[in-house]
């Protein structure tokens, strides 16, 4: 939970702080040995590939949406044999020098074993051993192994302009302002090859406090501008996501999981600006969707 002092900082100042060189390096260092450890990121991707029943990205061009400070998820797709990995973000946050820590903090056999259902174990070992031998990571070094970083890039405004086969995001789409989500997905669909796949894991809770996951549902629309949606989540519920995904005409979407929170109470008042269909819809806290680009002969 944020301190009262943090809440007093204007959103414009927070944005400048978060994009400062000191903050980005500090944040990357913290994440590299914690949630961006390579074995943890490998487990997250393996889980999504498992529930999506999508078993291989070998020789595919993969795009990660919202890659953040440490490019560990992009590295996992490299380990899985992707021909090229494109890591994107709306802000240039990535600090490649901290990848070494994320890789060396991981348990190597965990990385290999957990990814082995989706790629040959020996191939993963070879690529991982090569990564472990790299002393200094940079954007140039990443390019040489097939990982390209593109930021700043707002895909809600313009498509990437590069054909790709697979799109992945983890806890990213809920940070996109509500009015931008549809254009973002449509722009991704433009560059996705026929038969290509999107997998998005979306966290529907209030990102300000894990102890009060539904608190933001009571706040007025005026108090939830774009900057607040980016920080705390855009408040879209499952039914609203379903309606929006239906409007990405050339991609067939389906939910591959949805989880609910039954242990927390709602605020007494749900703001009228929140679109939902009953209490069950409000209580859904996590969803993941799989989209498949339609082939021309399916039209």
User: Average of pLDDT values for 14-41?
Assistant: 84
Identify which has the larger pLDDT, 1 or 175.
175
Domain boundaries of the chain, sorted by first residue: 12-153, 169-299
pLDDT given for residue 5 in this prediction: 46
Find the range with the poorest average confidence among 10-14, 56-60, 101-105. Answer: 10-14
Distance in angstroms (rounded) separating the CA atoms of residues 12 and 43: 35
Residue 1 has pLDDT above 50, yes or no: no
Q: What is the pLDDT of residues 215-232, one digit of tens each?
A: 999 999 999 999 999 999
Residue 11 has pLDDT above 60, yes or no: no
Q: Are 258 and 171 in contact (CB under 8 A)?
A: no
Q: What is the pLDDT of residues 70-114, one digit of tens each?
A: 999 999 999 999 999 999 999 999 999 999 999 999 999 999 999
pLDDT given for residue 260 in this prediction: 97
pLDDT given for residue 299 in this prediction: 55
Identify which has the larger pLDDT, 210 or 107.
107
Confidence of residue 2 (pLDDT cuts 50, 70, 90): very low
pLDDT given for residue 236 in this prediction: 98
**Residue 201: strand pairing partners:** 170, 288
Distance in angstroms (rounded) separating the CA atoms of residues 103 and 128: 9
Q: What is the pLDDT of residues 115-146, one digit of tens each?
A: 999 999 999 999 999 999 999 999 999 999 99
Q: What is the pLDDT of residues 235-245, one digit of tens each?
A: 999 999 999 99
Residue 3 has pLDDT above 60, yes or no: no
Q: What is the pLDDT of residues 150-207, one digit of tens each?
A: 999 999 999 999 999 999 999 999 999 999 999 999 999 999 999 999 999 999 999 9
- What H or E segment, with its residue span, contains residue 15? helix 11-18
Half-sphere exposure of 40 toward its Cβ, with a 13 Å CA cutoff?
A: 13
pLDDT given for residue 234 in this prediction: 98
Distance of CA 22 to the CA centre of its chain: 23
> In terms of Cα–Cα distance, which of 89, 87, 54, 47 is closest to 196?
54
Distance in angstroms (rounded) separating the CA atoms of residues 28 and 67: 12
């Amino acid at each position: 939970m944020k301190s009262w002092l943090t809440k007093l900082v204007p959103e414009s100042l927070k944005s400048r702080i978060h994009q400062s060189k000191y903050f980005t390096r500090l944040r990357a260092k913290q994440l590299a040995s914690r949630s961006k450890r390579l074995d943890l990121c490998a487990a997250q991707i393996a889980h999504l590939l498992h529930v999506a029943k999508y078993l291989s990205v070998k020789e595919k061009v993969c795009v990660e949406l919202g890659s953040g400070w440490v490019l560990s998820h992009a590295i996992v797709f490299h380990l899985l044999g992707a021909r090229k990995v494109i890591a994107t973000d709306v802000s240039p946050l990535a600090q490649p020098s901290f990848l070494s820590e994320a890789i060396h903090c991981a348990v190597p056999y965990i990385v290999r074993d957990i990814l082995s259902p989706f790629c040959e174990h020996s191939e993963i070992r070879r690529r991982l051993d090569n990564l472990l031998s790299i002393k200094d990571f940079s954007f140039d070094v990443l390019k040489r192994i097939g990982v390209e970083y593109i930021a700043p890039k707002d895909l809600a405004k313009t498509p990437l302009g590069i054909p790709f086969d697979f799109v992945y995001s983890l806890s990213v789409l809920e940070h996109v302002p509500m009015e931008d989500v549809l254009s973002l997905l449509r722009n991704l669909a433009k560059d996705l090859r026929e038969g290509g796949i999107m997998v998005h894991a979306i966290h529907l809770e209030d990102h300000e406090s894990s102890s009060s996951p539904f608190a933001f549902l009571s706040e007025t629309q005026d108090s939830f501008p774009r900057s607040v949606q980016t920080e705390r989540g855009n408040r879209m519920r499952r039914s609203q996501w379903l309606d929006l995904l239906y409007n990405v005409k050339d991609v067939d979407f389906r939910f591959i999981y949805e989880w609910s929170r039954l242990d927390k109470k709602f605020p007494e008042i749900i703001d009228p600006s929140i679109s939902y269909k009953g209490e069950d819809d409000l209580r859904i806290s996590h969803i993941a969707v799989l989209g498949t680009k339609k082939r021309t002969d399916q039209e």
